[in-house]
Amino acid sequence: MTLIKITPETHNVELEIAYGTADNFTGQPVYANPACYLNPESEELLRRAIELAAELGLRFKIFDAFRPTEAQWVLWNHTPDSDFLADPRRGSPHSRGAAVDLTLIDDAGRELDMGTPFDAFTPRSHHGNLSIGVEAQRNRALLIGLMTTADWDFYRNEWWHYQLFYARRYPVLSDSVLPDGMM
């Protein structure tokens, strides 16, 4: 399967690939060559969401998208928590190029308040959590509204995670499918 590279130039998004630095829950870089890829169906839906957000003067910052199965194992071996990570034996939607982790940014590039940071593995990260501020609740509602209008499914435990419906119809992919591997 061919994956499509997502860049600021081609998709008008900001990239902050979290697993390319030590600023993630593992405390270590997971990707040696961080990049952002999606399968063709996911890329099409991302373009739809980008258009919807642009109408409101907003853009997306992407934290992660395609995650090679090798990276999924690194994350799982560090924190085997099925509430927040897919068991690599079953395969993650990320490892199928069928998921994206993102947030909204304003026209100055500032992240909208979502109540928790990306990858905060707590109940406060769940959609519909009322213990976060009202502004963060509104921003999460805006994000889920944009993404679901563009035909993405969401994961209830992570405000930042969106995936294709029926993502499992795509194969789990390793780093070897990329022209320049991420691992």
Instruction: Please give the full DSSP string across 118-159, using - where no structure is assigned.
Output: TT--SGGGSTT-TTS-HHHHHHHHHHHHHHHHTT-EE-TT-T
In a domain, 169, yes or no: yes
In a domain, 104, yes or no: yes
Span 172-176, average pLDDT: 97
Residue 83 has pLDDT above 90, yes or no: no
| b/e map 100-118, b = 16+ CB within 10 Å | bbbbbbeeeeeebbbbbeb
In a domain, 147, yes or no: yes
pLDDT category of residue 1 using cuts at 50, 70 and 90? confident
CB-based contact 19:49 (threshold 8 Å): no
What percentage of the chain exceeds 90 in pLDDT?
A: 97
pLDDT digits (tens, 9 = 90+) for 18-58: 999 999 999 999 999 999 999 999 999 999 999 999 999 99
How many structural domains are present in the chain?
A: 1
What average pLDDT does the structure give for the chain?
Answer: 97
In a domain, 39, yes or no: yes
Domain that holds residue 140: 4-177
Span 133-147, average pLDDT: 98
- Is 158 among the catalytic positions? yes
β-pair partners for 61: 14, 103
pLDDT digits (tens, 9 = 90+) for 86-102: 999 999 999 999 999 99
Q: Which residues contact 55 (CB under 8 A, 6 or more apart)?
A: none
CATH number for 65: 3.30.1380.10
Residue 113 has pLDDT above 80, yes or no: yes
Catalytic residue among 41, 51, 55, 158: 158
pLDDT category of residue 124 using cuts at 50, 70 and 90? very high
Span 62-79, average pLDDT: 97
Give the separation between CA 93 and CA 165, rounded to whole angstroms. Answer: 10
In a domain, 8, yes or no: yes
Span 75-84, average pLDDT: 92
Residue 127 has pLDDT above 90, yes or no: yes
Q: Which residues contact 106 (CB under 8 A, 6 or more apart)?
A: 57, 58, 112
In a domain, 183, yes or no: no
Give the separation between CA 93 and CA 99, rounded to whole angstroms. Answer: 5
Span 143-165, average pLDDT: 98
Span 95-115, average pLDDT: 98
In a domain, 182, yes or no: no
